[in-house]
Amino acid sequence: MTSAESMEANPLAAGLEQGRRAPPGVLVVFGASGDLTARKLMPAVASLARRRLLPSTFAVVGVARSPMSDDDFRSKLIDAVPDGGPAWAELVKGFRYVSGAYGGADTMERLKAVLEEVDADRGTSGNRLFYLATVPSVFEPVADALGAAGLNSASRPDSFVRLVIEKPFGRDLASAQHLDDALHRNFDETQIYRIDHYLGKETVQNVLALRFANAIFEPIWDRRYVDHVQITVAEALGVEHRGGFYETAGALRDIVQNHVMQVLSLTLMEPPATIDAQGIRDEKVKVLRAVKIMSVEQVPTDVVRAQYEAGWSEGIAVPGYREEDGVAPDSRTETYVAMKLEVDNWRWAGVPIFVRTGKRLPKRVTEVALQFQRVPHLPFRAHESRDLHPNALVLRIQPDEGISLRFGAKVPGQAFEVRDVLMDFSYGAAFLEEAPDAYERLLLDAMIGDPTLFIRSDEVLQSWCIVDPILTAWASKDTPLARYPAGTWGPKQADQLLAREGRRWRTP
């Protein structure tokens, strides 16, 4: 029970929809000197404050190794939010910083003392949200040290302690399992909030609204009507300055295991009984379990991996992946993956799910396309319907969030010519309310204690089960690595993956 519930209701809060306001608490950020904190977390905190969704009894405590005073930290945060104004400067005055080694017992003792001071000064009620915004190698030591210091459980009967953990959650099934066990040594699953910022995006949540708030889509959302599904996560950028990091990751780990699997599960899952944490996550994991695990032998046939070569991207000549800073000249890290997945359940049996993701593709776009089957019989003459394709329903996730439906319509005139038209719905143009940034949404959910949009342990492990055979196959030196020029839609092998079944990739 939260402290708000055990207390008398606030008579002035009636009608103010304050259910979505954060309770009192401290956000403790590990890695507070880093990029994510400055670029995403603090702007999200400032925006929540501006929208009056944070209580006055809120504070941030930063933890990292870099030596900084409280004031250094505060001025760094003020710089991180240039449009914060005096209200942000005032809020930041109550924030604190603890410098020390991540897993160190003395760091935790000092943190504990600071947290007690903050509780006394700011009325944060013993509630803590620990946010691991640092390198993955310290996730385990931090969780252990929190446990050793007794910071892993609530100090008061009605307060909460939660742990938010960033990606990557492991680098294969074994390491993910190891990390999961390590976290569970000190935290219950109900305390652990694994972030995938894709789930904070309004349009990803809208997949649920489209499917389950409308009666007309769900009946056709299956093998009887859908010919195949295409999931595209394309980036126009290369690895930029993160070549060193990318060398250890690659597209499969960086995008497929997490974002693609999340989008896939929301798109293909069965209707949940309730739109809540258990209802949704139970169904997501069910459909992930239905995704057929490939054999290692099957990988060369059903998965294409590739790397970009020098080319032209958005009008600029750009280097190939192996020429990027921090990348080995003989690197075999994939910047592109295309694959065919199968889902073995009643709804999707026999419907191939094609996934592709890559860097240095022609544009930045994330979309899910349901390609419907052809009509059983086309009652038009061939020349009248040559411009007609099967229906497609496209859920555009970014940018320009929206939905479009391709259908056939008669071309005005005497002849009965039919042609594709696109009916286009754009979220940006349909609602006045501004969608909150993904981190803002997720931070607030974590503070409120709503885990619906966070990844549960079984989901993360099942996602790794799906990609693990691919990692195993690629670990051997003789698996092929295709090439594609920067600024194109990937290698020809990816086209062949569909062409061999008489299908082709969409052009998003």
Largest Cα–Cα separation, the chain: 84
Residue partners of 53: CB distance under 8 A and separation at least 6:
20, 21, 22, 444
433 touches another protein by CB under 8 A: yes
- Give the tokens for residue 3: 């402290």
The CB-of-32 to ligand NAP minimum distance in angstroms stands at 7
33 touches ligand NAP by CB under 6 A: yes
DSSP annotation of 384 reads: G
Nearer to ligand NAP by Cβ, of 354 and 464: the residue is 464
Residues linked to residue 354 through DSSP beta bridges, in sequence order: 230, 340
**Binding partner of residue 357 among another protein, ligand NAP, none, CB cut-off 5 to 8 Å per kind:** none
The CB-of-267 to another protein minimum distance in angstroms stands at 22
The H-or-E segment that residue 64 falls in is: strand 58-64
Which stretch, 119-127, 165-173, 232-240, 468-476, contacts ligand NAP (CB under 6 A)? Answer: 165-173
**Binding partner of residue 52 among another protein, ligand NAP, none, CB cut-off 5 to 8 Å per kind:** another protein
311 touches ligand NAP by CB under 6 A: no
Please identify which residue in 21, 74, 167, 201 interacts with ligand NAP, judged by CB under 6 A: 167
- Give the tokens for residue 136: 């993955």
**Binding partner of residue 90 among ligand NAP, another protein, none, CB cut-off 5 to 8 Å per kind:** another protein
Please identify which residue in 20, 35, 39, 52 interacts with another protein, judged by CB under 8 A: 52
Distance CA 14, CA 2 (A): 18
Q: In 3-state terms, what secondary structure has residue 470?
A: helix
Number of residues near another protein (by CB under 8 A):
41
Nearer to ligand NAP by Cβ, of 40 and 284: the residue is 40
Nearest to 348 by CA among 470, 264, 456, 468: 264
Which stretch, 54-62, 199-207, 217-225, 331-339, contacts another protein (CB under 8 A)? Answer: 54-62
Contact 124, 24 (CB under 8 A): yes
Q: What is the dihedral of CA 8, 12, 15, 19, to 10 degrees?
A: -50
Tell me how far CA of residue 36 lies from CA of 30, 167, 206, in angstroms: 11, 12, 26
DSSP annotation of 362 reads: S
Distance CA 29, CA 501 (A): 49
Nearest to 468 by CA among 170, 34, 160, 119: 170
Within 10 angstroms of residue 378's Cβ, the number of other Cβ atoms is: 13
- Give the tokens for residue 49: 């404050």
Please identify which residue in 64, 176, 291, 470 interacts with ligand NAP, judged by CB under 6 A: 64
**Binding partner of residue 34 among another protein, ligand NAP, none, CB cut-off 5 to 8 Å per kind:** ligand NAP
Distance CA 79, CA 182 (A): 36
Which stretch, 74-82, 127-135, 278-286, 438-446, contacts ligand NAP (CB under 6 A)? Answer: 127-135
399 touches another protein by CB under 8 A: yes
**Binding partner of residue 133 among ligand NAP, another protein, none, CB cut-off 5 to 8 Å per kind:** ligand NAP
DSSP annotation of 84 reads: -
**Binding partner of residue 295 among another protein, ligand NAP, none, CB cut-off 5 to 8 Å per kind:** none
The CB-of-40 to ligand NAP minimum distance in angstroms stands at 6
Strands 353-358 and 226-234: parallel
* Catalytic residue (one of 241, 259, 377, 383): 259
**Binding partner of residue 18 among ligand NAP, another protein, none, CB cut-off 5 to 8 Å per kind:** another protein
- Residue 483 CA neighbour count, 13 Å, CB half: 8
Contact 23, 54 (CB under 8 A): no
398 touches ligand NAP by CB under 6 A: no
- For every residue of 262-277, DSSP letters joined together read HHHHHHHSPPPSSSSH
- What part of residues 129-158 is at the interface with ligand NAP (CB under 6 A)? 133-138
SS3 content of the chain, % helix, strand, coil (to 5): 40, 20, 40
13 touches another protein by CB under 8 A: yes
**Binding partner of residue 166 among another protein, ligand NAP, none, CB cut-off 5 to 8 Å per kind:** ligand NAP
297 touches another protein by CB under 8 A: no
430 touches another protein by CB under 8 A: yes
The CB-of-475 to ligand NAP minimum distance in angstroms stands at 22
Which stretch, 63-71, 76-84, 150-158, 422-430, contacts ligand NAP (CB under 6 A)? Answer: 63-71
Q: What is the dihedral of CA 198, 260, 271, 226, to 10 degrees?
A: 130
- Residue 403 CA neighbour count, 13 Å, CB half: 14
Positive or negative, the CA dihedral 179, 184, 189, 194 is: negative
Nearer to ligand NAP by Cβ, of 258 and 267: the residue is 258
Please identify which residue in 36, 89, 365, 405 interacts with ligand NAP, judged by CB under 6 A: 36
11 touches another protein by CB under 8 A: yes
In the shown chain, the binding pattern of residues 71 to 100 toward another protein, with x for contact by CB under 8 A and - for none, equals --------------xxx--xx---------
Question: Active-site residue 228, yes or no?
Answer: no
Residues that bind another protein (CB under 8 A): 3-4, 7-8, 10-16, 18, 21, 24, 49-50, 52, 55-57, 85-87, 90-91, 123, 125, 399-400, 421-426, 428-433
Binding residues for ligand NAP (CB under 6 A) = 31, 33-37, 39-40, 64-66, 133-138, 166-168
Q: Return the active site residues.
A: 259
